[in-house]
Amino acid sequence: MLKPVALATGSLLLTSAVALAQDRWDGADDLPVNPLACDGAAAAMEPTPYNGGQPTGAPDLSGQQITIVDVPKLVGIGYFAATTLGMQQAAEELGNVDVSTDGPTEANIDDQITVIDNYITQGVNAVLYAANDPVAIAPVLRTALERGIHVVGYDADAEPDAREWFINQAQFNGIAKAMIDSIVAEIGEDGSFAIVTSTFTTPNQARWIAEMQAYAAQCYPALEWLETVEAQEDNILSFNQANTLINKYGDDLQGLLGMTSVATPASAEAVTQAGLCGEVAVVGLATPNAMAPYVNDGCVESVVLWNPVDLGYAAVHVTRALVDGDLEPGDTSVEAGRLGTLQIINGSEVLLGAPFIYTADNINDFDF
């Protein structure tokens, strides 16, 4: 039985059978969950007014050269290398954008704030960010807006009024359905699993987990969720946490869900080294290159993601449209180069698209 989650030191534990609607863990925000129907149909959503922020006294740079700094959660991992590549592709295509990526070497919110603050002082026209913490990052982003600097998020959002737009790689409920359906396909509707995430306050992962809980309770009520553990965005810690779960639960652990591009391959490696391929399923969010060895070896059947190159590409096109006045509050879509028309949801989110499932049939067709 999937049970509500209570915050505990070092892990998220499922504690009681109280009704989901009354007791659910929803991470760092108070947004309602919106689980997809078990047959995949989306629940009707009322149009939402624009809820983003606005820069003060931003200069009119329509059509002119602009400078953008991208500050991801951290640098040095394949996922954000891929988003950076997409940003550079968009900048080259547009011709009037200079974009550079700079960020902390660990997923540390204090370091991320320092990097953004330094660029506000130096002076840039726009800041792109992927938040390590949606609340903690908000003040420095509001400072950027107050200085007339445009602010656009991607991958992991901040409080909406602290930025103008957010590029949502996939709707949270869509990711949730893909993750839960994929693990159920391998461990069954009454199987048991655990989660390795980065931190409990990382906004996108917190939302995915909240939606996963709601979707699983609705569609697979016998599914057992054992525990969720933090591993930052650290490969060694992710491996150790996955290994700890394997040793802790033994035969009761039938699956591991990785919520980050680091945690998923690290979990697959832990299962491989434990000799449990075929016994403990690994499903998660990760880049194809990181997961191809495990998929090709048959230890992992499916990987859930989107194209992070396209995510970075979209972020730059949205920023250019914003600066040029081609994207304004109340708009329902925006043009994004080779990606075509992207829809706007939830007031101020630009939706990249539906999640993609990588398998042995297609994973070698991608290189990022």
Residues 6+ apart with CB under 8 A from 70: 83, 84, 87, 99, 100, 101, 102, 103, 128, 129, 312, 315
SS3 label, residue 307: coil
Q: How far is CA 131 from CA 136, 212, 329, in A?
A: 9, 21, 22
| DSSP conformational letter for 364 | G
Predicted pLDDT of residue 203 = 84
In a domain, 40, yes or no: no
Residues 223 and 332 in one domain: no
Give mean pLDDT, residues 213-224. Answer: 96
For the segment 283-297, the average pLDDT, to the nearest whole number, is 96
Same domain, 139 and 187: no
| 42: confidence class by pLDDT, cuts 50, 70, 90 | low
* Radius of gyration of the chain from its Cα atoms, rounded to whole angstroms: 20
- Same-domain status, 179 and 140: no
**Position 2 confidence tier, pLDDT thresholds 50, 70, 90:** very low
Least confident of 33-37, 59-63, 273-277, 312-316: 33-37
What pLDDT was estimated at residue 7?
Answer: 27
Distance CA(187)–CA(92), nearest Å, equals: 45
Domain that holds residue 279: 171-305
pLDDT at 367 over 60: yes
Instruction: State whether 181 and 265 are in the same domain.
Output: yes
Backbone torsion region of residue 298, taken as left when φ is above 0, otherwise alpha when ψ lies between -120 and 50, otherwise beta: left
Q: From CA 330, how far away is CA 354, in angstroms rounded? A: 23
Mean pLDDT, rounded, of the chain: 90
| Cβ atoms 361, 345 nearer than 8 A | no
Q: Give the Å distances, CA to CA, from 44 to 37, 47, 158.
A: 11, 10, 25
Q: Is the pLDDT of residue 220 over 60?
A: yes
Same domain, 255 and 202: yes
Q: Is residue 299 part of a domain?
A: yes
pLDDT of residue 32: 85
- Do 73 and 134 belong together in one domain? yes
Q: Tell me: the pLDDT tens digits for 256-280?
A: 999 999 999 999 999 999 999 999 9
Question: Are 117 and 150 in the same domain?
Answer: yes
- CATH number of residue 262's parent domain: 3.40.50.2300
Same domain, 79 and 203: no
For residue 6, pLDDT over 60 is answered with no
The pLDDT of residue 66: 98
Residue 39 lies inside a defined structural domain of this protein: no
* Direct distance between the N- and C-terminal alpha carbons of the chain, in angstroms, rounded to an integer: 37
Q: Is the pLDDT of residue 29 over 70?
A: no
pLDDT at 9: 28
8 Å CB contact between 143 and 117: yes
Helix axes 109-122, 138-146, angle to 10 degrees: 10
- Report the pLDDT value the prediction gives residue 41, as an integer from 0 to 100: 60
For the segment 349-361, the average pLDDT, to the nearest whole number, is 93
With respect to residue 137, please indicate whether it lies within any of the assigned structural domains. yes
- Compute the distance between CA of residue 97 and CA of residue 106 in angstroms, rounded to an integer: 27
Band (11; pLDDT cuts 50, 70, 90): very low
Name the pLDDT band for 201 (thresholds 50, 70, 90): confident
More confident residue, 88 or 29: 88
Give me the pLDDT at residue 31, please. 75
Q: How sure is the predictor about 48, in pLDDT bands with cuts at 50, 70 and 90?
A: confident
Contacts of 107 (CB under 8 A, 6+ apart): 73, 74, 132, 198, 199, 202, 232, 233, 234
Q: Are residues 185 and 293 in the same domain?
A: yes
Given a cut of 50, whether residue 246 has pLDDT beyond it is yes
